[in-house]
A = this chain, B = another copy of it.
Amino acid sequence: MNSLAEENYLKAMLSLSNDKGEVNVNELSKRLEIKMPTVTSMMKKLSAKKLVYYQSYKPLRLTEKGRKEAAFIIRKHRLTEMFLVEKMGFGWEEVHSIAEQVEHIQSAEFFEKMDKLLGYPKLDPHGSPIPDKNGKMVWKQYRKLSECEADEVVKLSAVINTSKDFLKFLNSRHLSLGMKLKVKFIEQFDQTMLVSYGKYDKEALSHIVCERLLVEKV
């Protein structure tokens, strides 16, 4: 079994890895808020456990085994978030920090029960895909709202940043997943978008916000 610390490294590596499956020590260090020498030594340890390919000064890569273990932790995290929202009545802004802890629970049955009670969901409350039991995870082809043009009508399908503050901001604007959004106007100066949705006609959303909203065609 892997320790809690090891699990956190694996998860961070998977979520940071680029299309080639590569991550840098520096990025990992920043994400985990752990200094680089500590990351280096953990990489050597994970390499000895065949979870990571490690060569000095080269980008880091998860092995297939490492990728699967990481995906399984993310699966547990996202199932938990879904369970907390759907079965326990939490808001989507409250679940991440609880899921960060629950994801480390060692009990296949516990997460199988969650999965079953939820009806085998494919997406978590923030629109992120839940890896399947084989560790397979596919992101749909979303666009950022910030990349849309005036007059486009799209559906809000996922959010990039899942920080409590950002989600509370979305709550305050009555924005939630599945909503139809229409881009009314884009301010050229700062890219602020005026968007209509639900009963709101011209809500102003800053570029910072629009970059974090993932949408798809209606």
Question: Chain A residues in contact with chain B, CB under 8 A?
Answer: 84, 87-90, 94, 97-98, 101-102, 104-107, 109-110, 113-114, 117
Q: In the complex the two chains form, is A88's CB within 8 Å of B117's CB?
A: yes
Q: Could you say which of A84, A110, A114, A117 has the most chain B C-beta atoms within 10 Å of its C-beta?
A: A110
Identical copies in the complex: 2
Measured CA separation A113–B117 after assembly (Å): 17
A8 to chain B, nearest CB (A): 15
A163 to chain B, nearest CB (A): 17
Beta-carbon nearest neighbor of A97 in chain B: B107
8 nearest CB pairs, A to B: A88-B113, A101-B105, A98-B107, A98-B110, A89-B113, A102-B105, A88-B117, A101-B106
Measured CA separation A179–B113 after assembly (Å): 28
